[in-house]
Amino acid sequence: MKISTTLFCSLITIITFFTADAHANGSMGSEMSHAVGGALMAGSITAVVDRYYPEYRDDRRMIGFGVSTVAIFAEQGVEYALHGNAGGQLMDATTHMIGSAIGAWVTDRFILSPVVTNYSAKGKYIGLQLQGSF
């Protein structure tokens, strides 16, 4: 199943508007929002790598996960420097990282077309797309 870029960007925009005033407080809902945010961030980075950097398609999942994880640890480091509470910041970063792993994997495996590489002729890619009517 492949979704259009417009739909994907629209979903991210809508989710951003709904979560713009959310504040972390250590509750289950707060940690779930970090996990969902991580999944969306890693998934969108994975999709951008697939679309605009075809030479990195084989590693798109790891790039999405890595960039999202580095970004959240940098952001939580700033939060720790400003407000303290190392345990809370580490919990937020960890749940974001778990969400990033799930989001990058789901995007790579189910949303984007799988990439098959012909190693005998490096640089040639064949994509597989499955579609169904509802």
The rounded mean pLDDT for the chain is 79
Q: Work out the average pLDDT over 66-80.
A: 88
Whole-model pTM: value is: 0.69
Q: Work out the average pLDDT over 55-69.
A: 89
Please report the sign of the dihedral spanned by the C-alpha atoms of residue 71, residue 72, residue 75, residue 77. Answer: negative
* Domain range annotation of the chain: 5-127
pLDDT score at 21: 47
Query: Mind listing the pLDDT tens digit for each residue in 87-118?
Result: 888 998 999 999 999 999 999 988 886 656 55
Q: Work out the average pLDDT over 69-96.
A: 88
How many CA atoms within 13 Å lie on the side-chain side of 66? 6
